[in-house]
């Protein structure tokens, strides 16, 4: 996959507002069609499909992940393959004691050896140094960035779909 280009800003990985809005509309449309189809095929059962349209990242979580990646990449001796990407997995949390329906989650891990132009996905690195211990020790670093809509969506007029 080649990086997207937004003419004029010099960034290789940004897209225009129109492109972002179209992609979001496409996702929402697909999710609605899937849920509708499942509900029609199982009228007595509430569809298990989660309609999720956005996640919000807490800056402290993102900063912690970036800090741990920096410590990993700058360790002595240096890793054979430094972390050069972050992979996000979509997941579904189901808790039997939770009164709400299941909710989606976004799981993030560092990735080494990522080479998108060569179609190489790289390897997940799930143990990273933690600045919370002196000296830093390796610990599980699978981040849960689960702040999905609607409870933490942008206020009306604040999200890119409302511009």
- pLDDT digits over 47-64, tens only? 555 566 677 788 888 899
- Flag whether pLDDT at 5 surpasses 50: no
**Does residue 84 register a pLDDT over 90?**
yes
CA distance 117 to 121: 10
The percentage of residues in the chain with a pLDDT greater than 90, rounded to a whole number, is 25
pLDDT at 128: 93
Question: Which pLDDT does position 7 carry in this prediction?
Answer: 46
Res. 6: pLDDT tops 50: no
State residue 147's pLDDT score.
62
Q: Which two tokens stand for residue 162?
A: 């409302």
């Amino acid at each position: 996959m080649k990086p997207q280009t937004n003419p004029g800003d010099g960034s290789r990985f940004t897209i225009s507002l129109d492109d972002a809005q179209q992609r979001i509309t496409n996702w929402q449309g697909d999710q609605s069609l899937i849920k509708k189809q499942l509900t029609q095929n199982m009228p007595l059962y509430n569809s298990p499909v989660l309609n999720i349209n956005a996640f919000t990242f807490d800056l402290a979580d993102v900063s912690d992940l970036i800090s741990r990646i920096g410590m990993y990449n700058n360790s002595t001796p240096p890793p054979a393959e430094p972390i050069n990407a972050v992979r996000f997995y979509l997941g579904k949390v189901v808790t039997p004691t939770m009164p709400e329906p299941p909710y989606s989650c976004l799981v993030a891990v560092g990735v080494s050896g990522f080479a998108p132009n060569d179609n190489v996905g790289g390897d997940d690195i799930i143990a990273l140094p933690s600045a919370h211990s002196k000296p830093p020790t390796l610990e599980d670093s699978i981040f849960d960035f689960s702040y999905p809509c609607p409870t933490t969506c942008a206020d009306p007029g604040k999200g890119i779909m409302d511009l």
